[in-house]
Each structure stands twice: as structure tokens, then as C-alpha cells.
Chains A and B, each alone.
Chain A
Amino acid sequence: MQERIGFYICHCGINIASRVRCPEVAEYVATLPDVVVSRDYLFMCSDPGQELIEKDIPAYGLTRVVVASCSPRMHENTFRGAVARGGLNPFRCFHHVCVREHVSWVHTDMDEATEKAKTLVRAGVRRVARQADLFPNTFPVNPNTLIVGGGIAGMQAALDIASAGYHVYLVEKQPTIGGHMLQYDKTFPTLDCAACIGTPKMVSVGQNKNIDLLTYAEVEELSGFIGNYTARVRKKARYIDASKCTGCGECTKVCPVDKPNEWDVGTLKRHAVYRSFPQAVPITFVIDKNDRAPCVQTCPAQTNAQGYIALIKAGKYLEATQLILEKLPFPGSLGRVCPAPCEAVCRRKKVDEPLSIRNLKRFAADQVDWDSLPLPPIEKKSEDDRVAVIGSGPAGLSAAYFLARMGYPVSVFEALGVAGGMMRTGIPDYRLPPAILEREIKYIERLGVNLHLNTPIGKDRTVDDLFHQGFRAVFVATGTHGDAKLGIPGEDAQGVMAGVAFLKRQNLAGDARVGEDVVVIGGGAVAIDVARVARRIGAKRVRLYCLEACHEMPAWEEEVHAAKAEGIEIHNTWGPAQILVSEGKARGIEFKRCTRVFDDKKRFSPAYDEAQRQEVCCDTVLVAIGQRPDTSWAEGSNVPLHPRGYVQADERTFATERPGLFAGGEVYTGPSIVVQAVANGHEAAISIDRYLRGEDLLEARPERPKGEQWNPIPDDALPTPRAKMPEIALDQRQGFEEVELGFTEAQALEEASRCIACGTCSECMLCVANCKAQAIDHSMKDEVLNLDVGSVIVATGFDPLDPTPMHEYGYGKYSNVYTNLEFERLSNATGPTAGALLMRDPENRYHFTSPPSSVAILHCIGSRDVNHHEYCSRTCCMYALKYAHLLKDKVGHDVLVYNFYIDMRCFGKGYEEFYRRIQGEGVRMVRGKATRVTDEAESPEEEGKLVVEAEDTLTGKLLRVPVDMVVLCTAMEPRKDTVDVARTFGISIGGDGFFLEEHPKLEPVSTATAGVFLAGACQGPKDIPDTVAQAKAAASMAQALTSLGRVEVQPMVSSIDEDICVGCKVCIGLCPYSAIEFDDRRGISVVNDAVCKGCGSCAGYCPSGAAKIRHFTDRQIFGEIEGLLVARSAS
């Protein structure tokens, strides 16, 4: 069929015609093949212009129409409508060529512009003839609307839509709705209080049945298309059940953790359990948790160090001890002997030194009366579920302790006459007095644990016997009580003793003996203990020789220092070659130089320089070079043992291959530290409980906490030294009295207050105990919701600029330089001063003293500034005037207020009038941007003041104005997460960084993604009236969509020609929307029209050319290319 094409070029007044000779273009097009009508017209988009097309179609029998005018993004739909009214399919029969934005507005030469217009039109004429019939798809619209952001814009839009009877999901990131407006005090120019007009809106939102309020929540993903979106929303755990919380605030009264309140922009502190402000909606409190503190994560037993430190700080020593007892039964003992891996990772060291965590634990444990210490509530288990524990060391007793707390009947069998294992026999009394350990063992017994002393397992009573006697589970924790041997000549001589045996003898019988000149061999904790004990029982000289260099010694550094202080000589990098014996008695040792202790793979593999030797005279040799497990307990039973005597068990569950038999502590790990043994015992207890209840040992077993998202180090954490442990004087350390005396209460309180609360909430559980409504649940998890909505309104607001990097204004350096938001909080009745305008105490940023006598308000901080934001933030002039008024009103008429401005922009309704009123109140207006704020006085009246420097551009004079307080009117900035939010919702970002509306004048609330609308300051700086107006506009757009109930979706989607498709499936992998499926029967790929968005990923790749995007087919694009280049190729 012969095509009959009509062409129309628009003058657009003179917008096009001033650069493009429109009649000439029309004349040219008339010469092109198939063109039957070619006209130019003043305004094609006007009604007469459109009528021209509508009439020409029947009159000339047109089959295709091309219009050259503005951008198709402007009027493509207008002309499609005209063509449709003319009776043609608008997709088949119409093409729009842009000769305004792309030609007349960007080229200056009329010949060039006219030629380019001809070229573009020629391409359009070629293309239009190749277009095909297309019909838009119609889809139903989900009647729900999602609103993101609960500031005044979000609240207003939600209320408007809800009042029309439609459902709204309002998602707010903060724990309360309200947004910036509710942080303000008064609003200009009417001076009504933001809370008075804002809180009723909040309450209405909270109570409206059509509004689902999701606070403390964020949209993670938006999928679907206009009318049919699905939003994935993560509701962060509040740790407080909103259905039970009454908002009474009893929880926050007892919370020991302080942190700057975000709502008060750091002018006031809040607790870890908090509510942003008293009128918050919802009234539900929230617990602020970060990842667990590094101390808690590092502790093998996961002791809640941050928690008990917080409780100590609050003076709650009993609660602190009880909290420790949740994770270990030996707070007093470990508070003395733990090497404290927690302190190595304490983040306080970034400020000064790590906290003295171990000593605080000891302090808490020493403050309570252990005899009356209340027992936790225990639910007794069946008498049949009896558990036996072999060994009463830290691992055995811990397992028994935790099992007893779970209600199991536990019997502990101990070979010796005392309980406590190595804690009792291996640690000297001056470090761990027996009474401390005994009170803790007594507490374990009070829980119902049966302790059988002098009852070795092995020969007379085997492990098998225990099972036969009805113990359903047995936990082995026999430790490593055998000494390792040197394996050198002379080891059996008189005067040579093994370290652990020596300590045991001293600890249990008190009758260990040494000569006058003692040499200790070994560099570990036991060797140091041995040396210090030898000194105490009468040795005149004690020398310690070890293989390791000083920094490699496994002994704990503090202990090495204590030993040196007590006169013990330490000789590093020497290994014993032989013990020199005379008449059966040791008389000395020959050492050789050790050149290396560990090999490249960090394995113990000492090397020696055999030539370098020395002989050392002595009368006693104490060998403390390691321990071995004693395997006598396993005699006569079927027990899976390692060849070196250790028990083989699973590293997480501590279960051995033999059902019911578990093992932990040093008999499993080898020599280690007490807290590790405690941790083993606890984990084993959990396994035994699961085993006895017939559960899988591993399934859903809680993982160790990890993560490094911690509370930032507070800016008021100033360097303060770590508390020093009081000790008995060196000259009085003769006997076995405890060397360390423990912190005084004052020391403990000060030390505890150094904690920077890495995890924010310390999980001290005081709030749980104080909540009568039982609303608190520390185990709550985030909730993920999928919401089906038809439209989305993004109302995420703005961030205030942080002026800290602008050093010239001294923000952060001078305590009385404020940001506008800080000033708002200061003036607000719920703020730090209950509304009084006071100066800040330079010593304490949370303390405010007296009213200022003079204040400078600096406009345009970061706005209208090429170094920051070129745009005007639109609100500052007006709120600056408001501040001036508030100062005059609250502080008194005599307070001097200076406004340093560039231009006063008082453009809104009632704004200019407000400006005049404030001028009348005696506020001084200085036309000139302040260049600097300094405290360097140049004259007596500047002493002790902040001096604002500026040029008064009206008089041309440089000014120095001394004031008490400076307020910086900072710019409104795009939110820091604007880019992420833009990606989530498919919104573009403008050059200023705010979200980009579809058209700056005519589509101020629409975005590039149909069905996603904008409201408020996320689109650009705005005051409250404009924000509310835009919110109402966005609400009306959403409602229009909803009330129509259906939506037409452009038909430019992919289609796969089933005759051509070879079924290679490449397109399926490329499709970002999973819109292509494979039809197995026919062996081809098939597009789902409803899901396809027409991106063309498939068409751009399809090797056979089967996949095509409708309206962007190869033939159509080729037509355009040929049209553009035909003149050139013809030449």
C-alpha cells in the first residue's frame, strides 16, 4: 500500500522559528517520497494546531503523521491523541521529531540549524513508515499507597489519602513520625508553635484506621510497575512489644547507658532505651542496639562485660554479679586470675587505655554477700535425667552449674579432697585466696549440685559404671594435672621438682620446701607462679630461665612485672642441656642458647646454638614446662582417647563419639585459661540438655555474636587514666596474703564510667525487671514485610548541613557556636533547657548556664556558596528573623541581635510583613556575609567574646562584632542516603543532589518512574507551607490513580518471534525482570508482557534477531539511521 504522509513543523512562537526556517523545512519535506501534506504552523500543540492534523487525516487520506516541534518528552502524547482522534493508531502512524531542545535552542547558525532540522525530519519520515499497530496494556491498580517518610509531607499526604477512604502504609526510618518540623520550636511567620500544629497531625496519623504506621522501618526494595508495586519493608526490632508498651517510661529510668539524643541533635543525652521526645507517635519506647561490644564478643564465655560495667556504674553490684553469673559461676575467681582477652579489644584504648574489666568484675563479686545471694528460679527436671561430671575444675563445675540452673540433678566426682581443680591446686593463694573460690563453689552447691570429694573415677568406679548407675550423661573434665618432663640427664636427681606438683603441694598441704638458690625452668604462667611461691617459702635467690625472648613469653605480662618486682631474675632464650648432679643431688644446670622457639608455621620447634653454653649453680630446680592429662579416669571403660591422653570430642558440641559422653576443659583443649574451661563447660551443658531432651545438638544452636557496627566513640570521652589496682607493699609480700587489694568503690565507679558502651544497649536487663507491662523482649528480631501498593510517595526530607568542616565559623571548636537546629532545640520546651535560651558551659557541652547578652545570626552557611551549595535554601532568612524575635522575646529586649545576610528573601505570604515587624523590634541587620568567627580579642570589649568578622557591603566597612553566641543558618542538603533511595525507587537525582521531578514546572511531583511521586524537601529546599502543598499534590496524584482503578501501560515491550527463536536462552539470563520464560514444548523463549518493561537487553543481544522491542525494531532504527545519513552516503 502506498503510504500517505503528513508533515507539520511548529514555529513554537519564535522558539523554533528564530533559528530554523520552518517554511523551508516544510518545502523540503514536501519533496520527500510519499509526503502528501507538509505544513508549518505557529503553535502545533494549540487546539487549532491539533485540529489541523485531525482534519488533514481524512481530507488527504493520511496514513502517517510526523510532527517536528519540541521534545517528545513534552508533547508526544498530545500529538498521539490528535492522531488517534483522526482515526489512526497513534503508535503506528505518528512520530515526533525534536527541533527545539535539540536544534533551535542549542545552535546559533540559522543555516546549520535549518539543515539539521531537515536531516532529523528526513529520518523521522523514514521511520514512521516502518511503524506498526500497537495497543497499550491495561492493568488494575492496587488501591493502597506507600508513603516513605513520616515528616510533615508524609503525614499530610497520608491523612489526605486516608480521608478519601484509601489505605496508606506510612514507613518512617526513625522510631517516631514528625520529622524536622516537630524538632522546631516556633514556625514563621505566624509564630505558632510547631508542636501545637504538628502533634495533632501525628496523633491523627497514629489513630487513623486507614493508615498503617510502620516506624523504625525502611523500604529495602520496590518491584513491579505503576499500579502494581510490591515493597519489601524491614521493620527493625524495637525490642519492645508495641502492643504491650504503655509508654510509662519506667524502663528508661533505670537504663544505665547514656548517649546523645539524635532528636535533640546532641544537646541532650538519652538512654539506650528511649523515646525521641515525650509526644512521639507511636509512644512505644525503643531499645538502641548495635553489634555486641568487642569485650562481649571476645570473651570465650561471652560474659556480658558491658552489661555488668553499666550496672556497676549505676551502683547495682548485686545485679552486676547476677548478670555475670548468667555466663560463669566464678566472678570473684575470674575477677582475679583471668588474663582478660576482653581488655585487649576494648575500644576505650582509642581514647586512652582499655578499661580494667577484670578488676571491675572482681569488685562486683566482692560487694555481694555470697551466703545470701539469691538463687535463680529453677524448674526441676526429672530425677531420671541425672548427669555425672568427672572433675571439679572450672570446666566440670561450670557444666554442673549450668545444668543445675536448667534443673538437672548433677553429681560431681572429684579425686582430690578439695574442689576447684587447677584453680585450687595450681593458682597460688596470694593470687586467688581459697576463701574466694570456696564461696563460689558453695553457691554452686546451693543450686543443688552434689559434690563427691575423694571419689576418683577409673579403677574402682569406671565411666561405664556411672552409666550403669543411671547417669544418662557424663561430662569429663579432668584437666591436665600431670607435669611434662624435660627429657634431659639429671632430671631425677634430688632437688628437682615438677611445677604443678610443687604448687599443688603448697596449696593443699602448705609444706612445699625449696633450697636457698632456686632455678625455675619455663616461661608460662605456671613457671611465674612457681617462682613467686618459691620466693615466698624461703628461697633467697630465684632465677627463671626460659626458651622464649621476653616478648614471646606465654606468661601474662602483669604477672611477669610482679615477679620482677618481687626480685625474681628472668633469663630469656636459654634452654636446659642437662641438670648437673653431684652425689645424687642437683647442684646446677647447664643451659644452651635457644635461637628460635617457633618455626615458620608457628609450631613449637626450638633450635639451639650448641656452642653457646653456660652453667648455673643452684640447689633446687623447679620444672614448669607444661602439663599432660592424667588418663587414669578412663581405665576400664570404652572412651575415645587421643594417643597423648586427650579426649576427642566435637569442637562445638563437646560430644564424644560415645553417646551420652561429653568432654571439655583442658583434658580436651590442652593447657588453657580458666575462662576457656568455663566456656567449654557451658557449651557442654547446652549439648547435654539437648541430648537429654532428644534434640539435635547443632540445629539452630546460637552462633557467637559478631559484627563491628558499634556505637561511635562519644565526643565527650576525654582521656582519663585507667584505674590502678591497689597492692600490698613489696616489702610486706612475705606470706600468701592476696597481693591485689581490689578497687575502692570510688575507683570502681570512675572506672566503670569510662566505658563507651560499644553495643549501646548493654543488655543489663534492668529494664526488663522494671517493666510492669512485660513489654520488653531483648531477643526480638527484625521483621520483613511485603506490601502490595499501587503508588508510592517519597517524602524523605532533607539533612541539615554539618558546618564542622567550615573551620572559619568555629563550629565544634567554640562551644557557643550553634547550628540552626541546635538553636531550635534550645528554644523548644522539650529540649535541653526546657525552652530557655542559654549559653553552653565550655566545660560540659550538655550543661547550659546563663542567657546571652548579644547574638549573631549568620545567614547562608553553605547556601548560595559555590564551595558548598549554589542554591538558596529558601527557609533561612525567615527562620533567622524568627530567632531574632525569639531572642528578643525570651531573653529580653536589651539583648543585641545581629543578622548577617547577603540578601533578605522574604517572598511568601506574610513574610515581608514579618521582616518589617522584626526590624521594628530593634534587630540589627548587617548586609554582608560573615567571613569568620574567632575568639582572638583585639580590644578589651572583645575579651571573652566570640568576634564575628564581616564586610558591611552597604557602608563598605569591615566590621568586628563581639557577641556571646553565634547561630549558623546552615543549608538544607539532600539526605546522605539519597543515591540509595533514588535507586530503590527508580528516581533520578538533579544537579543539586535532590530528587528530580519529571518537569520543573508542570510535573513537580511526578518522577521518571510512573506511579512514584515526590513530596517535600526531598525534591528541593522548601518551607512548611510549600511542603504541605506539595504533599497534597502528591496525595491527589496517588488518589487519581487509585480512583481510576486501572492504568494503561505503554506497549513498547519485547516480543520474541517464535519462527526465528532458536531457544538459546541467552535472553533469559540477561532479562533484569525475569520476564522471559522458556517454553520447553516449543523449545523457544517467551516474553511475559505484564512483567517486561521494554529495556531491550534481550533485543540488543539476541543472536538470531528474534527478540525485538516493539516500536524500536531494527527496521525502524535502521530507517532513522538511513534518514540521518542518506545525504552523506549519496554524496
Chain B
Amino acid sequence: MSEKQFEPNIVAFLCNWCTFTAADLAGTSRLIYPSNVKIIRMMCSGMVDPKYVLKSFLEGADGVFIGGCWPGDCHYINGNMKARRRVALMHEVLERFGIERDRLWLRWVAASEGNAFADTVTAMTGRLKELGPCRVSREAVA
């Protein structure tokens, strides 16, 4: 029973103007959260190409987190709305390939919401631990 506990790998694509800044604020505020999340800085959630999400899962990510500005607050007017539509579609497609909905999170986290960022990462890590490893990359490789 000494098997090491499963630690999910989370790739986070964060908007430079809000969620990335919130991640900085979480740091400045010394909020502690699990180290499973690895951040890739984007200029806008609307520039997250579905390819990036698929690539992450294929390379072995257990979850992908896209962080954008609250509706109406997008630095580029409406990029976050484009992300929302795209993620809705991706959820449909990913499910057919056996990737559960809860492996792809889109959340609005404003620049001032450092605690919301930490909470989201903590919650997502917890949820992915329940789901266990994502099988797709192994099966695809096999």
C-alpha cells in the first residue's frame, strides 16, 4: 500500500492581464497551493488554440486550465468569450476521446483575485486526483 500517491500534471494557459497577474498576486500574498500546476503565459484566453489543449493531453497532461478575464473585462474586448465558445466545443470533442469534462477547466480569475487563483488550482488538483491519470497519452503512444 506504499504506492506513491498520484500527482496530476496540470498545464495552465493564463491570460497575461488577469489570471497570470492573479498568479503573481497569489505569490506576492504567499498563498500556498499544490505545485502540480505549470503556467504558460498567453496574451489572452482567446488565443488558446484547441491544438494547445490537445497537445497537452497527448504529451501527458492530466488536466488543462485556461484562465481568462471576467466577461466584459477582457483586455481585448471579447477574447474570453471566444475562449468560452471554444472550450464548450472542446468539451464535446474531448469526451468522445475518453477525456472527461473535468480535465479541461475554463475559469474567470481577475487580476485582483489571487486567492481565487490559488483556490482554483487547489480544487482542480483535488478533482484530478479523484479522476486519476489521463489514459489518452499512454494509449496514443502504445
Contacts and interface: CB of A to CB of B under 8 A. Distances in A.
A1121 B59 contact: yes
A106 interface: yes
B46 A1096 contact: yes
B125 interface: no
Given A102-B39, A105-B27, A1129-B60, A990 B112 contact: yes
Interface stretch (B68-76, B91-99, B100-108): B68-76
Contacts of A988: 17-18, 21, 73, 110-112
Given A1072-B78, A1121-B11, A1100 B112 contact: no
Interface stretch (A376-384, A552-560, A620-628, A1111-1119): A1111-1119
B23 A1100 contact: no
A1050 B71 CA distance: 25
A991 B113 contact: yes
Nearest to B13: A1117
Nearest to A1130: B60
Contacts of B16: 73
Contacts of A1052: 43
A670 B24 CA distance: 74
A1095 interface: yes
Interface in B11-58: 11, 16-18, 20-21, 23-24, 26-28, 30-35, 38-44, 46-49, 51-52, 55-56
A contact face: mostly helix, strand, loop, or mixed: helix
Given A108-B32, A1120-B40, A1125-B60, A1095 B46 contact: yes
Contacts of A983: 72-73
B141 interface: yes
A1114 B112 contact: no
B40 A1117 contact: yes
**Interface bracket on A:** 35 or more
Contacts of B78: 1072
Looking at A100, A1097, A1100, A1126, the one whose CB has the most chain B CB atoms below 10 A away is: A1100
B142 interface: no
B135 interface: no
Interface string A324-342: 0000000000000000000
Nearest to B138: A1129
A986 interface: yes
B137 to A, nearest CB: 6
B62 to A, nearest CB: 9
Given A101-B23, A1096-B79, A72 B56 contact: no
Looking at B82, B137, B141, the one whose CB has the most chain A CB atoms below 10 A away is: B82
Contact of B75 (A1008, A1101, A1125): A1008
Contact of B43 (A109, A1094, A1101, A1120): A1094
Nearest to B21: A73
A304 to B, nearest CB: 41
A255 interface: no
A1097 B76 contact: yes
A1117 B9 CA distance: 17
Interface in A96-145: 98, 100-103, 105-109, 112-113, 115-116, 119-120, 123
Nearest to B77: A1072
A1121 B56 contact: yes
Looking at A996, A1109, A1112, the one whose CB has the most chain B CB atoms below 10 A away is: A1112
Given A72-B41, A1095-B79, A103 B35 contact: yes
B43 A1109 contact: yes
Contacts of B49: 1099-1101, 1114, 1117
B61 interface: yes
Nearest to B72: A983
B128 interface: no
Given A73-B21, A1129-B141, A1096 B28 contact: no
Interface in A264-321: none
29 contacts: A71-B27, A73-B16, A73-B21, A101-B28, A106-B26, A106-B30, A109-B35, A116-B35, A116-B38, A119-B38, A120-B39, A123-B38, A123-B40, A982-B73, A986-B75, A988-B17, A988-B111, A989-B73, A996-B112, A1095-B46, A1097-B76, A1097-B82, A1100-B82, A1109-B43, A1121-B52, A1124-B11, A1124-B61, A1126-B59, A1129-B59
Nearest 5 Cβ contacts at the A-B interface: A1096-B47, A101-B27, A1095-B76, A1128-B60, A1125-B59
Given A71-B24, A107-B33, A1109-B43, 17 more contacts: A106-B118, A107-B35, A988-B73, A988-B111, A1009-B75, A1052-B43, A1096-B47, A1096-B79, A1100-B48, A1101-B49, A1112-B42, A1118-B52, A1121-B11, A1121-B52, A1125-B9, A1128-B9, A1129-B141
